[in-house]
Amino acid sequence: MLSLDRDSASHVQLLEKFMTAFPTERWSIIEDNLSIHVSEQTKLALAARAEMEIQFIPKYACWLNLIGPWWKQLRSLALKGRRFETLDQLTQALNDARLLEPALPSILLEKTPTRTGFGPRQFRCSNSVR
């Protein structure tokens, strides 16, 4: 599901479309701290929906955002160097790329040596404080 705009109203509409397409009694959604996810408009709209519980990834903890590596790979396969005139063209490109790489990227499954032995792969945060 895609949204034409990147604003709070579009985010709420996207969540409502998702809830309609995949009905269930209770929703638990995990989001990052993008401004449209935490805006007052979004909070007010979702407060009226008792069946929806929103959890947020802690700030400065990008390694918890497991969709990031997958999105990077999908973006590279579907969007790199391309322009789309319509939402349908964009949707088709994303669907085609998903067929090429349907699984989670291997970056989520790899293990690398750490000081204490083997542990989860370390992610570099673009917004981390060093």
- Based on the domain organization, do 49 and 76 belong to the same domain? no
The residue among 19, 36, 61 that closes a domain is: 61
Domain hosting residue 51, numbered range: 1-61
What is the per-residue pLDDT for 118? 42
- Based on the domain organization, do 35 and 90 belong to the same domain? no
What is the per-residue pLDDT for 30? 85
What is the per-residue pLDDT for 77? 83
- Based on the domain organization, do 1 and 56 belong to the same domain? yes
* Residue 110 is assigned to a structural domain of this protein: yes
- Based on the domain organization, do 41 and 79 belong to the same domain? no
Q: What residues contact 46, with CB distance under 8 A and at least 6 apart?
A: 12, 15, 52, 54
- pLDDT tens for the 130 residues of the chain, in order: 667 778 889 888 888 888 888 888 888 888 888 888 889 998 888 888 888 888 888 888 877 777 777 778 888 888 888 888 888 888 888 888 877 765 545 444 444 444 444 444 444 444 444 3
The residue among 16, 35, 61 that closes a domain is: 61
- Based on the domain organization, do 1 and 49 belong to the same domain? yes
Secondary structure (DSSP) of the chain: ---SS-SHHHHHHHHHHHHHHS--S-EEEEE---HHHHSHHHHHHHHT-TTEEEEEPPTT-GGG-THHHHHHHHHHHHTTT---SSHHHHHHHHHHHHHHS-SPPGGGT-EEEETTEEEEPPPPPTT---
- Based on the domain organization, do 25 and 57 belong to the same domain? yes
* Residue 129 is assigned to a structural domain of this protein: no
What is the per-residue pLDDT for 101? 64
Specify the number of domains making up the chain: 2
- Based on the domain organization, do 112 and 74 belong to the same domain? yes
- Based on the domain organization, do 3 and 56 belong to the same domain? yes
Residues in the chain: 130
The residue among 10, 45, 61 that closes a domain is: 61
- Based on the domain organization, do 77 and 111 belong to the same domain? yes
CA Rg value for the chain: 17
Strands 111-114 and 117-120: antiparallel
Distance CA 98, CA 90 (A): 12
